[in-house]
Structure 1
Amino acid sequence: MKYHQIDRNLFIKNRAKFTAQMKPNSVAIFNSNDIYPVSADSTLPFAQHRDIFYLSGVDQEESILLLFPDAPYDNLKEILFLKETNEHIAIWEGEKLTKERAFEVSGVKTVIWLQDFHKTLKEIMAYSETIYINTNEHYRASIETETREARFVKWWKENYPAHKVEKSNPILQRLRSVKESEEIDLIQNACNITEKGFRRLLSFVKPNVTEYEIEAELIHEFVRNRSKGFAYTPIIASGNNANVLHYIENNQQCKAGDLILLDVAAEYANYSSDLSRTIPVSGRYSDRQKAVYNAVLRVKNEATKMLTPGTLWKQYHLEVGKLMTSELLGLGLIDKADVQNENPDWPAYKKYFMHGTSHHMGLDTHDYGLLHEPMQTNMVFTVEPGIYIPAEGFGIRLEDNVVVQESGEPFNLMRNIPIEVEEIEGLMNR
């Protein structure tokens, strides 16, 4: 891994929080992701399942974590099952975790080679009554492939049908949404790497540069700062491309006078950052572009102040809608009649701002969090309003990542990344 080793006490705390919410005499099992095939012998780069990483720090394929807090023997309370490493694997793939190294990373004392998983599980099933299975219940999830976790659940139900079943996901949705201080530091590091990439761009962008050249500058800066790369597929959208919300082709030339909407950010140690900025190809915003830009910035700044403990996500978005409506009226994009005659299910402002303003973030860019429950201290959210005007050939989105504080305004993890018009123009024209 490129990142510095994370203090294993984070994962020890995370497991303690999870097991404290398990029912008596129950077992929870978490699997790594598969390595996904492309064609022939090609594969996609391995990306660890965030839940097993959150609970163990293990960032390796073919790994299983088993938690059994009420086990009759101490060596069965926490177990990591790992693919056994050997000299052949070390030569062809690189060294895998040894038992000693796995303990250093995770704090789990019992490490068993994967070939003994079924034998060990059979013993544990005889002692336990309930199993916690780990299903993906994220509100944005759309899954077309059978995951390693899903295959395990199917196998387990066939082989141990007499056990009771509980779900890990509701526990993890709550635990993962509230960050430990170590996690906030990791997200801050991802934001700092993103800042370096963005500042690099400000002196690079000029008329006729291509979107993919901008992407190349970013990946260079991210990787040289110990990131694996982009936290999500980068959006580098010049001109009218910005009005396609998930534009990812990044293959067009950036023309003088246009804006570039950048929704790009680095990951670090599997933790995401999530940035949006909109910059002028020629280094200066036109008066109209500046007016729209500052309207979006005002909405972002006011929306940020609302992210406080006890706030409900749905009500928050209603209030942001009011802010955006006022700004769109001021820009002449809608009029009072549009507002008076609007459909409550699709208000007038949605013509120009059709997505949500904030989502949880952390180990996943769209991280765990139950949206019907009030916001809490140490949750991390994006704030990302936008105005999209196809008729005028540009769209603007501005986005920061903030930590909900016990009192006062949220703490902006992207506070050092240029966002004001004057600062961006100044840096682009040095």
Structure 2
Amino acid sequence: MKYLPINKELFIKNRKNFMAQMKPNGVAIFNSNDIYPVSADSTLPFAQHRDIFYLSGVDQEESILLLFPDAPYAHLKEILFLRETNEHIAIWEGEKLTKERAFEVSGIQSVYWLQDFKKVLKEVMMYADTMYINTNEHYRSSVETETREDRFIKWWKNEYPAHKVEKSNPILQRLRSVKDSIELDLMQTACNITEKGVRRLLNFVKPGVTEYEIEAELAHEFLRNRSKGFAYTPIIASGNNANVLHYIENNQVCQAGDLILLDVGAEYANYSSDLTRMIPVSGKFTDRQKQVYNAVLNVKNEATKMLVPGTLWKEYHVEVGKIMTSELLGLGLLDKADVQNENPDWPAYKKYFMHGTSHHLGLDTHDYGLLHEPMQANMVFTVEPGIYIPAEGFGIRLEDDVVIQPTGAPFNLMKNIPIEADEIESIMNS
């Protein structure tokens, strides 16, 4: 792994919190992700399943975590199953976790090789009444591929049909949405790496540069700072491309006078950052671009103030819509008749700002969190309003990552990344 070792106390605490919410005699199992094939003997880079990482710190394929807090024997309460390493694997694939190293990473003392899994599970299931299956129930999930976890759940339920079934996901949704101080430090590191990438670009962008060259500059800066790279597919959208919300081709030449929308973020230790900034290709915003830019910035700043404990996500977005409506009226993009005659299910402002303002952030870019429950301290949210004007050839979105505080305004993990239009112009022209 490129990232520095993580204090295993994080994973010990996470397991303790999870097991405290399990029903008596329940056993929970979590699987690593598959390594996905491309074709021939090619595969995609391995990305660990976030849940097993959250609970163990194990960042390796073919790993299984078993939690059985009410086990009659101590060695069955927490178990890691790992692919057995050997000299051949070490030569061809590199270092894998040994049993000793697995304890150093996770704090779990019972470590078995994977070939012992079914034998140990049979003993565990003799004592257990309930199996906790780990399904993906994120509100944005749309998965067509059968995962390693999916295959295991089918096998487990078929093998032990007399056991009751519960879901791990509701517990994890609540636990993962509230960040530990160690997690916040890791996310701050991801944001700091993103800052280095942005500052590199402010001295690089000029007319004639291509979107993919900008992507390359970011990738270089991220990798040299211990990141695997982008936390999600980068959006580098110049000119009218910015009006395509998920533009990822990144293959156009940046023209003088245009703006570049950068929706990018570095990952660090599997934790995401998520940033959006606007860069004027020529180093200076036009008066109209700056007018719209400052309107979006004002919406972002006002929306950020509402991210406090007790806020409900749905009501928050209604209030943000009111602020955005006021700004669009001031920009002449809406008039009073548009607002008076609007459809309550699709307000007038949605013509220019059609997406949400905030989502949970953490191990996933769109992280776990139950949106119907009130916001809590140490949840991390993005704040990302935008105004998109295809008729004028540009769109503007601005985004920061903020941590909800027990009292007062949230803490901005990206407070050191330039966002004021004048500051961006000043750096680009220095």
C-alpha offsets along residues 297-343 of structure 1, whole Å, 9 cap, x if unaligned?
00000000000000000000000000000000000001000000000
C-alpha offsets along residues 91-131 of structure 1, whole Å, 9 cap, x if unaligned?
00001000000000000000000001001000100011000
C-alpha offsets along residues 132-175 of structure 1, whole Å, 9 cap, x if unaligned?
00000000000010000000000011110000000000000000
Match of 2:117 in 1: 117
Structure 2: which amino acid aligns with 1:330?
Answer: G
Matched residue of 2:262: which SS? strand
Structure 1: which amino acid aligns with 2:113?
Answer: W
Sequence identity of aligned pairs in percent? 84
C-alpha separation in 1, matches of 2:177 and 2:157: 29
C-alpha separation in 1, matches of 2:208 and 2:332: 31
C-alpha offsets along residues 48-99 of structure 1, whole Å, 9 cap, x if unaligned?
0000000000000000000000000000000000000000000000010000
- Report 1:247-326 matches (<5 A): 247-326=247-326
Matched residue of 2:299: which SS? helix
Match of 1:156 in 2: 156
C-alpha separation in 2, matches of 1:165 and 1:415: 45
C-alpha separation in 1, matches of 2:37 and 2:90: 21
Matched residue of 2:304: which SS? helix
Match of 2:234 in 1: 234
Match of 2:145 in 1: 145
Structure 1: which amino acid aligns with 2:19?
Answer: T
C-alpha separation in 2, matches of 1:156 and 1:341: 55
Matched residue of 1:294: which SS? helix
Match of 1:387 in 2: 387
Match of 1:28 in 2: 28
Instruction: Spell out structure 1 runs of 4+ moving beyond 6 A.
Output: none
Structure 2: which amino acid aligns with 1:198?
Answer: V
C-alpha separation in 2, matches of 1:139 and 1:318: 19
Matched residue of 1:84: which SS? coil
C-alpha offsets along residues 12-48 of structure 1, whole Å, 9 cap, x if unaligned?
0000000000000110000000000000000000000
For structure 2, list consecutive stretches of 5 or more residues without a partner in the other structure.
none
TM-score (norm 1): 1.00
Structure 2: which amino acid aligns with 1:279?
Answer: I
C-alpha offsets along residues 228-250 of structure 1, whole Å, 9 cap, x if unaligned?
00000000000000000000000
Matched residue of 1:38: which SS? coil
Matched residue of 1:70: which SS? coil
C-alpha separation in 1, matches of 2:398 and 2:189: 20
Match of 1:199 in 2: 199
Matched, 1:401 2:401: yes
Match of 2:133 in 1: 133
Matched residue of 1:388: which SS? strand
For structure 1, list consecutive stretches of 5 or more residues without a partner in the other structure.
none
Match of 2:40 in 1: 40
Matched residue of 2:183: which SS? helix
Matched residue of 2:38: which SS? strand
C-alpha separation in 2, matches of 1:293 and 1:279: 11
C-alpha separation in 1, matches of 2:394 and 2:265: 21
C-alpha separation in 2, matches of 1:98 and 1:10: 20
TM-score (norm 2): 1.00
C-alpha separation in 2, matches of 1:352 and 1:344: 16
Match of 1:87 in 2: 87
C-alpha offsets along residues 199-237 of structure 1, whole Å, 9 cap, x if unaligned?
000000000100000000000000000000000000000
Structure 1: which amino acid aligns with 2:143?
Answer: I
C-alpha separation in 1, matches of 2:5 and 2:343: 52
C-alpha offsets along residues 337-375 of structure 1, whole Å, 9 cap, x if unaligned?
000000000000000000000000000000000000000
Matched residue of 1:80: which SS? strand
Match of 1:415 in 2: 415
Q: CA RMSD in A?
A: 0.3
C-alpha separation in 1, matches of 2:274 and 2:289: 23
Matched residue of 2:30: which SS? strand
C-alpha separation in 2, matches of 1:337 and 1:280: 33
C-alpha separation in 1, matches of 2:255 and 2:270: 35
C-alpha separation in 2, matches of 1:427 and 1:113: 55
Matched residue of 1:120: which SS? helix
Residue-pair matches, total: 430
C-alpha separation in 1, matches of 2:349 and 2:7: 46
Structure 2: which amino acid aligns with 1:88?
Answer: H
- Report 1:60-79 matches (<5 A): 60-79=60-79
Matched residue of 1:309: which SS? coil
C-alpha separation in 1, matches of 2:252 and 2:404: 38
Matched residue of 1:30: which SS? strand
